[in-house]
Structure 1
Amino acid sequence: MPAEDIRRPELAAARLDSGSFRDPESRVFYADGEVLRALSAEGLADFEALAQSALFARAQAEGRIVRTERVDDWRALDLPLVKEPAAVLRHERVPFVSYPYEWPFSMLKDAALLQLDLLRDALAEALVLKDASPYNVQFVGARATFVDVGSFERLRPGETWTAYRQFCMLFLYPLLLQALRGVDYQPLLRGQIDGIDPFAMRALLPLRDRLRRGVFTHVTLHARLQQRYADRAGEIRSSLSRQLADPALQRRLLDANVRKMRKLVERLRWQPASGVWVSYGERNTYSDEDTRLKEQFVEEAAAGARRRLVWDLGCNNGRYARIAARHADYVVAVDADQGPVELLYRDLREEGNDRILPLVMNLADPSPGLGWRGAERRPLWERGRPDLVLALALIHHIAISANVPVREFLDWLHSLGSELVIEFPTRDDPMVQKLLAGKRAGLHPDYERERFERELRELFEIRKSVELPSGTRILYHAYPRGSGAGSAAAASGTRAGG
């Protein structure tokens, strides 16, 4: 039997990425714990043009493009692709996959600027990016990295910026809404995987904003032209191609358009509400002694073993995510409030921190499976199970604000199969009293310390607990019953984007 027909078991078990099917020239899959990409003959020719450019080596060294190499031994792979594969690439694994509807403003803006900068660099090498999706960007901590190497292709004669509309819908319009109107874009991107349509964007803006510089061109005029010439797209494209027949003129015009878009995106600003700066450090909730003992408790729990992945749920300013990061390879820090996550990201970016990934997410309504068959974008817990979960100053918001039964929340934490550090504020805690003030008496009978501890013990083995000096908050370090700590995490690998 020829050598290429001998299938190694781990390669024969290749699994296609459920979110990487839209480009028939380039498809991501997984085998033997590696992130791989199959290229068609056309895709291979485009990749070879990229690989020979100065851009590719430079951008990989700078961390702007995911590190990538050719794979020699791939013909034994069983890949049900639309086109026959001609080559396979191997990508460096991203520690944890995130999506644009989980990013605060500055993360989406940085991803947009990375996309535009790479496009300008590509044009200088007679290359172009065929699409402009934020899903092609992942964050390693606070560093934006472009992961869809298959998006680069040779610049075809007469070609325009074909991804312009996609860039507007998935990058520019969300940023404009946040910057101009203070509207959180995350629910809109989560609700429509293709982004915000020009008609919808125009309707969301008042007249004075529609007439702003840049907005008029990319929103008002864009929507008007789309409406007027929707049935003549092919005709218009042919006309533009004829006008751009000169390669030098084509590249100059494309570069000018991208450069103007970059200036517009760079000008966009959003500042969290002033109150966020007060709550950012939790100074209004804990005494100094409470904070000291809480930090010590988290430090001791985190230092018990080296963790591959830690989740800090309800991370606020990231104080405890930073403590956990001293004893873990990677930390995902999640909070429902975009303001603190925005400020945390800015700090991490300034530090060059690539160990903590800050995300915006309401844990009472976490990111679900989205897209085709609900599998293009995966739920949080399917992207890599943690070895340790921090749930500090969180349960009262889940149980009282969101009306999730305490047992339901504990069941979900137990399903992760991870060690747990959880904080329980009693009914006498000022924040709990504030949350209960707007509720009918007797509405949350399950929110009691004795009942919480009983149900926690049914699901977890409590190794240590301590009551903070304030007398209204108790910390617990626990291991899940029925599974070894971290067993679920060991069985579940993280996914890389593509």
Structure 2
Amino acid sequence: MVIPDLGRSPAPVPPDADLRAEPGSFRDPANRVFHAGDDVLRALDETAAAHWRALAGSTFFPPLLAAGKVCGTEELPAGSVLSGLPAGSDLPAGSSRPAWATVLRHERIPFVSHPYEWSFAMLRDAALLHLEILRAALPAGFTTKDGSAYNLQWRGTEPVFIDVGSFAPLRDGEPWAGYRQFCQTLLYPLLLGAHLGLAFQPWLRAQVDGIPPEQMGPLFRGTRRLLPGVLTHVHLHGSVQRRNAATSTTDVRAQLRAAGYTRELAQATVRGMEKLVRRLDHQQPPTHWVDYQRTCGYSGDDRAGKERFVSAALGVAGRRRLVLDLGANDGRYARLAARHADYVVAVEQDPAVLDRLYRTLRGEGERRVLPLVMDLADPSPGGGWRGVERASFAARASADTVLALALVHHLAIGRNVPLPEVVACLAGFVAPGGRLVVEFVHPDDPMAARLLANKPDGIFPGYRRDAFEALLAAHGTVEDRLELPSGTRTLYRVARS
């Protein structure tokens, strides 16, 4: 999934392209990311442009690019788009306006996700790729200015490094500037899972800059201090950080040079951290949902009929660009959707189920299905600066086809979300002209009855098939429906109005 022009003569961006700044790219003043239609552009100032050209001519970077470990990148012809780029339009009045010297065009990632939507194995693989890239860069005289998990994205189950502007020439005696970010957004969450069995997702979702060492330290007292990686990267890191709180970066560099900190020592440190991350693992205990396909109660005829209906619905209107599978469980229907779509985002609430799905898809070499951990009753909100630096799931999720199979009753009954709200939410994920494929589990179905047994009598009078169909009709046209042989579940294909 690289941009078509990569490796060929770069085509200019049309002069009338609608340019808009990426809200999450403002933190490095040397470069800024913009969107122009389907193009992803990175504007560089003079210094960053010089770094880019040195990077492009290095021995280590082109192989990473060719292997797909760094996102596809090309330099655009001089002046092809510079005149249209906002130069400091988002800066306060009187501020100096950056002069962009060069524009790069990047491959477009099919679906942008956030680290708190990844499973343990996903976060670990992303961390390992970051360290692999840094390990390749250091002998060639380069480093990365950042160590954030947000610098990585996914092509299905393949991690990819996207922050090309993060590469910079390495100065002897200079520590890795991204070490703190790497610890807070990648290593510490992995330590929480591997050593304490804690879910890291809520921690990362709550703090865009990750988990600081002063929050990690109290969790690793006593003998826990001796667990792999803790003494060095939590307690020692925290101690050094406190000791140098009032020391300038220049002074810290001078102290390191005086102490004999060399490029070789930096490389050894990265190799050691890579070895540590590889050792970390967290096999979450199985839950009810891990074995859902066996326990869900579908008969063989039900399952066969459901698969035929979903497959036919996916084939309507040709190949799909993006499919959302909401409540994906073990990925059965996400795989089916991948036969009809360029890309599938499979959303599942249970981290154990999602992690198993990721590991399975990775083993299969599947690059068209992206598994994400998310509670659809509490989906990812906007985060970071002004709530837009990290876009909400609703702002990112607009699909040609949305699959919502065996999901509605969990939201409407299990989570007490009013049925009109459930339908409006699902329909809202469908792009204009797209389809919603949704399953309604009748109140007398065993699964629905199990959920209702834990609720007060009569609390859901509106949870009825006729009410559900009326709601669907309000949001689009019901093109097809199928009542499964069991008689307690009905499937619908709805074209959005």
CA spacing shift, 1:207–1:449, aligned 2, 3 Å: farther
Structure 1 match to 2:84:
77
The answer to whether the aligner puts 1:119 opposite 2:124 as a matched pair is: no
Structure 2 match to 1:241:
257
Q: Contact 2:437–2:494 at 8 Å: present in 1 too? A: yes
Structure 1 match to 2:372:
359
CA spacing shift, 1:263–1:336, aligned 2, 3 Å: same
Deviations 1:17-68 (A, max 9, x none): 1100111112111124210101111111111121111222111111100111
Matching residue within 43, 46, 50 for 2:48: 43
Structure 2 match to 1:10:
16
Name the CA distance, whole Å, in 2 between partners of 1:389 and 1:188: 29
Structure 1 match to 2:286:
274
Q: Structure 1 residue 253: deviation in Å? A: 0.6
Q: Structure 1 residue 341: deviation in Å? A: 1.2
CA spacing shift, 1:142–1:8, aligned 2, 3 Å: closer
Task: State the structure with bigger RCO (CA 8 A, min sep 6), 1 or 2.
Answer: 1
Structure 1 match to 2:6:
none
Q: Structure 1 residue 282: deviation in Å? A: 4.6
Q: Contact 1:160–1:241 at 8 Å: present in 2 too? A: no
Q: Contact 2:289–2:350 at 8 Å: present in 1 too? A: no
Structure 2 match to 1:449:
465
Q: Contact 2:424–2:475 at 8 Å: present in 1 too? A: yes
Structure 2 match to 1:320:
333
Q: Contact 2:443–2:464 at 8 Å: present in 1 too? A: yes
Q: Structure 1 residue 396: deviation in Å? A: 1.0
The answer to whether the aligner puts 1:437 opposite 2:453 as a matched pair is: yes
Structure 2 match to 1:399:
412
Structure 2 match to 1:257:
269
Greater Cα shift, 271-280 or 27-36: 271-280
The aligned amino acid for 2:232 is T
Q: Contact 1:276–1:339 at 8 Å: present in 2 too? A: no
Identity of aligned residues (%): 49
Q: Contact 2:321–2:400 at 8 Å: present in 1 too? A: yes
The answer to whether the aligner puts 1:185 opposite 2:200 as a matched pair is: yes
Structure 2 match to 1:479:
495
Q: Contact 2:296–2:447 at 8 Å: present in 1 too? A: no
Structure 2 match to 1:28:
33
Name the CA distance, whole Å, in 1 between partners of 2:232 and 2:141: 27
Structure 1 match to 2:57:
52
Matching residue within 229, 252, 258 for 1:214: 229
Aligned Cα RMSD in Å?
1.8
Q: Contact 1:116–1:258 at 8 Å: present in 2 too? A: yes
Greater Cα shift, 30-39 or 133-142: 30-39
Structure 2 gap ranges (5+) = 1-12, 89-96
Aligned with 1:439: secondary structure? coil
Deviations 1:392-440 (A, max 9, x none): 0111111112211010111122233431110111112222122222211
The aligned amino acid for 1:241 is R
Aligned with 2:140: secondary structure? coil
Deviations 1:237-279 (A, max 9, x none): 43113334xxxx6111101111111111100111132336742
Q: Structure 1 residue 89: deviation in Å? A: 0.5
Name the CA distance, whole Å, in 1 between partners of 2:227 and 2:15: 59
Name the CA distance, whole Å, in 2 between partners of 1:365 and 1:32: 30
Name the CA distance, whole Å, in 2 between partners of 1:22 and 1:116: 22
Structure 2 match to 1:143:
158
The aligned amino acid for 2:153 is Q
Structure 1 match to 2:112:
97
Name the CA distance, whole Å, in 2 between partners of 1:289 and 1:139: 36
Aligned with 2:60: secondary structure? helix
Name the CA distance, whole Å, in 2 between partners of 1:147 and 1:282: 40
The aligned amino acid for 2:300 is D
Q: Contact 1:137–1:148 at 8 Å: present in 2 too? A: yes
Q: Contact 2:435–2:493 at 8 Å: present in 1 too? A: yes
> Could you tell me the TM-score, scaled by structure 1's length?
0.91
Q: Structure 1 residue 475: deviation in Å? A: 0.8
The aligned amino acid for 2:43 is A
